[in-house]
Amino acid sequence: MLQATPLTEGWILRHEGEALPAVVPGCVHTDLLAAGVIPDPFLGLGEREVAWVGRREWTYETDLAPSDGHEQTDLVFDGLDTVAEIRLDGQLLGRTRNMHRSYRFDVTGMAGRLSVRFVSAYAEAEAVRGQLGERPGAYAEPYQYLRKMACSFGWDWGPTLVTAGIWRPVRIERWSTARIARVRPLVSVEQGVGVVELAVEVERARVEAPLTVEAVVGGVRARAAIDKASGAVRLEVPEARLWWPRGYGEQPLYEVELTLLHEDGPLDVWRRRIGFRTVELDRSADEHGTGFCLVVNGERIFARGVNWIPDDVFPSRITRERYRERLGQAAAAGVDLVRVWGGGIYESEDFYDACDESGLLVWQDFPFACAAYPEEQPLRGEVEAEARENVVRLMPHPSLVLWNGNNENLWGFRDWGWEGRLAGDSWGEGYYLGLLPRVVAELDPTRPYTAGSPWSGSWEHHPNDPAHGTHHSWEVWNRLDYAAYRSEVPRFVAEFGWQAPPAHATLRRALAGEELAADSPGMLHHQKAEDGNGKLRRGLERYFAFPEGDFDRWHYLTQVNQARAVAAGIEHWRSHWPVCAGTVVWQLNDCWPVTSWAAVDGDGREKPLYHELRRLYADRLLTVRGRVVAVVNQAGEEWAGVLRLRRMSVEGAVLGEAELGFRAGRRAVAEVPVPDELEPAGPKEFLVADADGLRALHFPSPDREIPYPRPEFDVTVAPGAVTVTARTLVRDLLLQADRLHPAARADRGLVTLLPGERVTIGVTGWETPDPDAARSALYCMEPAS
């Protein structure tokens, strides 16, 4: 039977004659941090002080003991970052140049000193650029010239920390006769029967040994012979329970076990969990353009999505527990789709396992982002090898529903001046429209593929045409106010968002000792977007009097503006289902403490946007759209009730009201016209719409024009709770719980109270409730000064 022994002990990191203890899996930066050689690059200006690390060579070493009792011994690396030379007892085993692949070396009969020497990723990238020629990209760093996590070279939300190391597990595998080299599971549903077809490849130590495989799933067992190096076995599971996205049903998972046998003795075992479901991508043309709608088990899905970036710039630090915490936050916010963005990595099995269990659909980008990528060697072979490996690796996961060729590269070719600069040079089109769809069609025909995001479906339309396929809405934020979201109805919005700084406690930890200001040195260093602070300011000034010199007020208002911006988009687009079939917010998470578009900051704290997503992505939503109230019902049953409309003054008077019946079908939208007499007139009035405990508010004027009363409210505290009772209109009340204690969390974000209304905010991690402290951590809209 194959025996696997992890190689985690005894590693050292060598550099210029010095030896430091090393942790494997890990990376150079984390080892240097642990040894106290470098400062924490996440704190203050520390990133600048460690830039040299990415431009040096590094070597990992350990001793490999001799092995016996088996015919074959393999050294297996699940991931090497990135350009490495592997030697055992001085003998060259091989060279690598791809972070996204695994590697296996035959070390039968060998022992001695194992060394893995990493060349600087910069040196490799610059050498490839010199060989193949310059290619344009969104950033000056040379990330498109090697197969490595692009965002380790920095992004508009991330630091430039170019890593090296043995970033995924390494082990010794000992085996005899034969081993399982690859299993490709095709999982389908045919007339209520779950079908599993397992294509098996084996590696042999004995060429003539008769081999069979036996597979078991859901109590069904089947056997098949292995002919030389391959074979296949098919199993049918009657009345298989379907796996559903969260909110649509349950997520039953079936254990599949495949055993390789020789003379009825086991040689190797492959185990995975699968789920039975069907998935299609409806790209039909209609009177609105070209659709883009995921269909799971025959049910059309409005995707309530978030974009996912690597949760740490040092991915080896992301544990199973951390994946589950972050993805649990997504699920708790009503998210049902997570897009794994193309500037990152193919995530670990822990990520996809968590998505399988929680019903989070996964849209998986191939790792290409915001650049022209050469299609010649040495890159082309690496691209195909990594695609083939990762498609097969991730196939068992029912949560995976879409393969996407790249992020923004087709759009970049058309709109970012690339075409003229390339002058006919390759730039990646052959990957996205040729190689990758062929690989997916060959290996994983059960899932749809799209060439890119954004992508209109063909060159007949602009790549980012909102009427065709996927759309990235970045004119808003970069140039336009978020009110512009309401000017169009894209078929599927795969990226959009608005920035805000991280939580106060996150800033205090990352910028300890600094007097915080929007433009203080640390704040500017932890703002990576081009003119990011300028865009934040212009976004605020459209609605508020800018709080010059008041950091706390600036911090609060930027959080409010982020939540309002995203709400403007999602409410509008959800109300136009089924023309629009999904929104994928940029972004769920951060990889370090930074001002960014994230809903959850780099320390894992939820911004107000996160709590707003819980409202926006709930099954049922009310929103005021022009002169109608849209009643959005994504639940599986009809929603019928009474809508109460009130025209109110900011002083709290009811100026008019009505009760109107509504009926919204399952997974449908109904529209209720607002009577003319209830339309708010001028900045002193607003509209309130209530139904079944849900509320929509419409203020027709920007805050700077609204004569808010000075907010008055009472605060009481109890263990685990802060209760606020309003005596006036209190708009966008926010308890910043982390100001009470860094470990404190609130269970809700922004809330607007009418006079006499009360809200109780749950608080965890605050051991000594104090009304004065609670009041000092409460922020809301105030009269313009």
Distance CA 402, CA 400 (A): 6
Residues in the chain, overall count: 785
Distance CA 665, CA 633 (A): 7
| Crossing angle of helices 379-394 and 436-443, rounded to 10° | 30
Is 749 in contact with 778 (CB distance < 8 Å)? no
In whole angstroms, how far apart are CA 542 and each of 165, 326, 469, 477, 492?
47, 33, 31, 12, 27
**Tokens, residue 725:** 């009772």
Distance CA 476, CA 467 (A): 17
Is 762 in contact with 721 (CB distance < 8 Å)? yes
Read off φ and ψ for residue 391, nearest 5 degrees.
-60, -45
Distance CA 240, CA 243 (A): 9
**Tokens, residue 384:** 């195909």
**If residue 639 lies in a helix (H) or strand (E), which one and from where to where?**
strand 639-649
Is 571 among the catalytic positions? no
Distance CA 115, CA 99 (A): 18
Amino acid found at 545: A
Distance CA 391, CA 346 (A): 10
Other C-beta atoms lying within 10 Å of the C-beta of residue 122: 18
**If residue 254 lies in a helix (H) or strand (E), which one and from where to where?**
strand 254-262
Residue in the block written with tokens 């999602």: 570
User: Of the candidates 371, 423, 425, 429, which has an alpha carbon nearest to the alpha carbon of residue 132?
Assistant: 425
Is 87 in contact with 62 (CB distance < 8 Å)? no
C-alpha torsion angle, residues 622, 624, 627, 633 (rounded to 10): -30
- Please give the full DSSP string across 545-612, using - where no structure is assigned: ---TT-HHHHHHHHHHHHHHHHHHHHHHHHTTTTTS-EEEES-S--SSS--BS-SB-TTSPBPHHHHH
Contacts of 733 (CB under 8 A, 6+ apart): 713, 724, 750, 751, 752, 753, 759, 778, 779, 780
Diameter over CA atoms, the chain: 90
Distance CA 2, CA 205 (A): 12
Q: Choose the catalytic residue: 173, 408, 495, 571.
A: 408
Q: Which residues are catalytic?
A: 408
